[in-house]
């Protein structure tokens, strides 16, 4: 299938957001560059893992780069997702890397594909899954990770016994042999 690679460079805005109530939320990543907005759908665990791995990478780079180690998060973006939300694709895989020349993090977000193949970072072949690519300075990565982590934590509280999400009316806990807690 023909591949669409959208390279937003350093976007004007790159955020994670949700639509819906806890337990029924849909998670999105949204990138805006010069008025063009690209929105992709992903799972809650993908948002959490992306934020975690980005911070791990910045911490690793910061061990040898004082400027990255000293980077404080950019001002917090608390605005909602831009409307209308029009899904470009569902996320299947991420690629992240550090570009020493530009001193930015490159994030590639790949569409879910049937064969499970994920192109290498920077691969712009004509065939393959669609891709959104952004390049972010360390301060913006830290702000993105902070917002993403707060977004994930704002969901339903976990059951103290099985750690599955609690619904407002409780849930049937597997650790309680099927009894409602």
Residue 15: pLDDT band by 50, 70, 90 thresholds? very high
Condensed to tens digits (0 to 9), the pLDDT of residues 70-102 reads 888 899 899 999 999 999 999 999 999 999 999
CA-based max dimension of the chain: 58
Judge whether residue 139 has pLDDT over 70.
Answer: yes
Q: For residues 112 and 91, is the Cβ–Cβ distance under 8 A?
A: yes
Q: What ranges do the domains of the chain cover?
A: 5-156
Most confident of 120-124, 151-155, 166-170: 151-155
Give the global pTM. Answer: 0.85
Mean pLDDT, residues 27-32: 98
Mean pLDDT, residues 8-16: 97
**What is the average pLDDT value for the chain, to the nearest integer?**
89
Mean pLDDT, residues 112-136: 81
Mean pLDDT, residues 140-169: 87
Q: What is the pLDDT of residue 170?
A: 72
pLDDT, greater one: 141 or 156: 141
d(CA 5, CA 49): 23
Q: For residues 133 and 93, is the Cβ–Cβ distance under 8 A?
A: no
Cβ contacts of residue 124 below 8 Å, gap of 6+? Answer: 5
Q: Considering the domain 5-156 in this protein, what is its CATH number?
A: 3.30.2450
d(CA 181, CA 172): 7
């Amino acid at each position: 299938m023909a591949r669409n690679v959208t390279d937003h460079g350093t976007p004007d805005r790159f955020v994670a957001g949700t639509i819906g109530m806890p337990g029924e939320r849909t998670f999105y990543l949204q990138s805006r560059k010069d008025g063009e907005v690209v929105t992709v759908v992903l799972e809650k665990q993908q948002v959490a893992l992306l934020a975690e791995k980005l911070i791990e990478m910045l911490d690793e780079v910061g061990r040898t780069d004082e400027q990255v180690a000293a980077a404080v998060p950019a001002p917090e973006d608390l605005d909602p997702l831009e409307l209308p939300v029009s899904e470009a694709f569902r996320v299947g895989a991420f690629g992240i890397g550090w570009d020493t020349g530009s001193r930015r993090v490159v994030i590639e977000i790949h569409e879910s594909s049937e064969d499970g193949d994920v192109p290498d970072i920077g691969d712009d072949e004509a065939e393959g899954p669609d891709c959104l690519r952004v390049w972010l300075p360390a301060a913006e990565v830290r702000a993105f990770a902070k917002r993403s982590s707060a977004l994930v934590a704002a969901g339903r509280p976990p059951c103290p016994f099985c750690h599955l999400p609690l619904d407002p009316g409780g849930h049937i806990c597997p650790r309680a042999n099927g009894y409602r807690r």
